[in-house]
Chains A and B, each alone.
Chain A
Amino acid sequence: MAGNIILGYDGSAGSKAALAVAVSVAGAFSAPLSIVFGYEPNPMGGETADYKNKLEKLGEDKVQGAVAEAKAIDPAVEIEALVVPLRPVESLLEAATERSARVIVVGGTGERPIVGAILGSVPHKLLYRSEVPVLVVPAGGE
């Protein structure tokens, strides 16, 4: 697969808005859509197996919901769902590289910049690190 549209999806309002945009972009380019959920427990916290299992399950539920939603919007789009055991930004960058992605689509959090800086804003980091264009969809927007 190549030329994919990569969507970062965590179930938040911003990522739902991004889903709609990503589907329409994928449809317009006739490109496959990769819906990505990334997670990585802090290694400082010791063993992680049960925690990882739960996160993986949670991620699968989320992306599966997203797949259903995307299909409802445009049944013609080819969709894959990825649950990646890496931090969100890393998972998107890796998926983009592996899939020779056309664009990464993420939702804006609707948070104030200072909050984003403290929490570590995914769109912000992507803008600096991604080698493919990044499309940030505002939380309220469709």
Chain B
Amino acid sequence: MLATLTEVFGGKRGSMAVTTGEVGVSSVPEESAGKGLKVGALGMLSSLVIGVASTAPAYSMAASLGFVTLAVGLFAPSVMILAFIPMLFIAAAYYYLNRADPDCGTTFTWVTRAMGPKTGWMAGWGILMTDLVVMPSLSQIAGSYTFSLFGANGLANSTFWVTFVGVIWIIVMTAICYIGIELSARTQVALLGAELVILVIFAIVALAKVYAGGVAHSVHPALAWLDPFKISSVGALAGGMLTAVFIYWGWDTAVTVNEEAKDARRTPGRAALLSTLVLLAIYLIVSIAAESFHGADYLSNSNNYNDVLNALGKDVLGSPWNKLLIIAVLTSASASTQTTILPAARSSLSMAVHRAVPKRLGDIHPRYLSPSFATALFGLIAIVWYVVLTILSPKDVLGNSILALGFGIAFYYGMTGFACVFYYRKHLFKNMKNFVFIGLAPLLGALILTVIFVVAIFYYSNPINSSSGNQAWFTFIHFNFTFLHQHFYVTKGLGPPVVLGLGLLLLGVPLMLFWRVRHPAFFQRDRELAESVDGSAPPLTPGVTPVTD
């Protein structure tokens, strides 16, 4: 047998190619060491793809355009631009905090360092709740667009069947993350490329048909649509913004993931800038085209706001081409579901590593290498939450989720902004660059999100402003006051989005206090200050060293 092996392996060696790429190899101490070890580098294109695909433009438009127009009418495009500003500012906070501590827990670890363990725990809770709240909207879109894809429009409107397919969607997506199936980089580029091309074709065809004339209720686009000052009230503006921050959610990945980029000095900035331009351009042309086709009322009426792209697709592209748009939304939703489950599990893992939640949430599957317990638990809770929400508010799962989501995003992105300023406060006045990018931008971003958060609470407290219309919870609550020249009032109970958005965040307080009594170790740490702007922070929990290359 050995003779045979020698024959087989013998002559082969001369023909081996030598590659120049660096391997990352770390060796076990007692044995001979590998050297020259560097973590796999991300190129410009893959950074861009990760950032844009995580933001999921087609799904974001399908899920939110109806609700943005419900709040601000034809001025939706202006809100698309305006909502980007705080996100851009917060991205600066992500960029600098990530330099100090590229931790999976992101906001959780950063806020813990800068503002203390209790606030940090709540920020971590905010991330998890936001990830949870988005799941029903993803499943809802996946369910109804799946039926539309096969022309089963009756089933696409059936609450039961949409929920049924939505639950299967969560199970399949959770399994994919559990097992660790990944698309190759090339497939991702192709899918995202197709998604963007289809959206652009949709917008161009829609606009061409509008200018050709003969489309019912069509409106020619006007510059005024880009002017947020024409929006009727501050409340409506805040409501629109709260919905619109969601469409940029995930974009920060483009900034943080870039830390591993090949040319770390130039690639991150370029990829982030380019992904911004791509997203802004796509959101603008799609929202303008969608509004001009049948007018804003068509998007915001209760027949269509749940599936605007599907409703428009039939008239704009016609059958069977509208299926392309449906497929784009579905692939986009699947990318978005993945980029929800993976970070949720990793945030839980991070919290578990630092003993802020039960240890089991940090368990890694020996074969699939995924944070398996956290992944499975998240999938399970998402299903329960989706079904409960459907039962509580069957006609408006999507609207309630998108708005509640806005509260979650505003909360933890805002915390990230404040944490950045706090953490680097000794370095802010050393030079102009520090002041603008580490101080001013994150602070402004956080303040804008705080204002949106507060004003939107009062705006959506009034059930008539949410898409659920008359549905109100906690009917004993009522208030009536004027703020920023706006009249806010609630006569009979609160709108579901506020109850869901705030309720889930506040639920964290008792849980945090409970954990503090049971496992006080995590809470016995002091706040930290950045020692320098470039340096990396010491480990958050002693014995756990952050990976920095």
Contact = CB atoms under 8 A, between A and B. Distances in A.
Interface of A: 1, 3, 10-12, 25, 28-29, 39-56, 58, 60, 63-64, 67, 78-86, 90-91, 94-95, 97-98, 100, 102-103, 118-120, 131-133
A133 B188 CA distance: 31
A78 B31 CA distance: 9
Contacts of A78: 32
B25 A84 contact: yes
B342 A46 contact: yes
11 contacts: A29-B9, A39-B369, A46-B339, A47-B257, A58-B366, A82-B25, A85-B24, A85-B39, A86-B24, A97-B18, A119-B181
Given A51-B346, A80-B33, A83-B28, 15 more contacts: A29-B9, A43-B260, A45-B343, A46-B104, A47-B104, A49-B546, A51-B371, A64-B28, A67-B28, A84-B25, A94-B19, A97-B16, A97-B18, A100-B13, A119-B179
Contact of B546 (A3, A53, A97, A100): A53
Interface string B45-74: 010001001100000000000000000000
B346 A50 contact: yes
10 closest cross-chain pairs (CB), A and B: A45-B342, A81-B28, A94-B23, A50-B104, A85-B24, A50-B350, A46-B343, A80-B31, A49-B103, A80-B32
Interface string B1-43: 0100110110011011111010111111011111000011010
A4 B480 CA distance: 78
A52 B545 CA distance: 11
Interface in B226-272: 253, 256-257, 260
Nearest to B339: A44
Given A43-B46, A47-B103, A56-B26, A11 B366 contact: yes
Nearest to B371: A51
Given A46-B342, A51-B371, A95 B23 contact: yes
Interface string B358-369: 000010101101
Interface of B: 2, 5-6, 8-9, 12-13, 15-19, 21, 23-28, 30-34, 39-40, 42, 46, 50, 53-54, 98, 101-106, 179-182, 188, 253, 256-257, 260, 335, 338-339, 342-343, 345-346, 349-350, 353, 362, 364, 366-367, 369, 371, 544-547
A25 B34 CA distance: 22
Nearest to A79: B31
A52 B547 contact: yes
A87 to B, nearest CB: 8
A84 B17 contact: no
Contacts of A49: 101-104, 546-547
Query: Which of B25, B188, B545 is most buried by chain A, counting CB atoms within 10 A of its CB?
Result: B25
Contacts of A42: 180, 182, 338, 342
A83 B34 CA distance: 9
Contact of A50 (B33, B39, B105, B339): B105
Nearest to B107: A47
Nearest to B24: A85
A55 B369 contact: yes
Nearest to B350: A50
Query: Which of A48, A49, A95 is most buried by chain B, counting CB atoms within 10 A of its CB?
Result: A49
B5 A28 contact: yes
A10 B368 CA distance: 10
A46 B369 contact: no
Contact of A43 (B98, B257, B350): B257
Nearest to B8: A133
A14 B541 CA distance: 36
Given A10-B367, A39-B369, A53-B547, A46 B253 contact: yes
A48 B40 CA distance: 13
Contacts of B179: 119
A131 B350 CA distance: 39
Contacts of A79: 31
A51 B349 contact: yes
A12 B546 CA distance: 28
Contact of A60 (B12, B28, B103): B28
B13 A86 contact: no
Contact of A1 (B32, B257, B335): B32
A120 B103 contact: no
Given A80-B32, A84-B25, A28 B2 contact: yes
A50 B353 contact: yes
Nearest to B342: A45
Contact of B34 (A82, A118, A132): A82
B103 to A, nearest CB: 5
A133 B53 CA distance: 38
B25 A53 contact: no
A75 to B, nearest CB: 14
Contacts of A132: 9, 12-13, 16
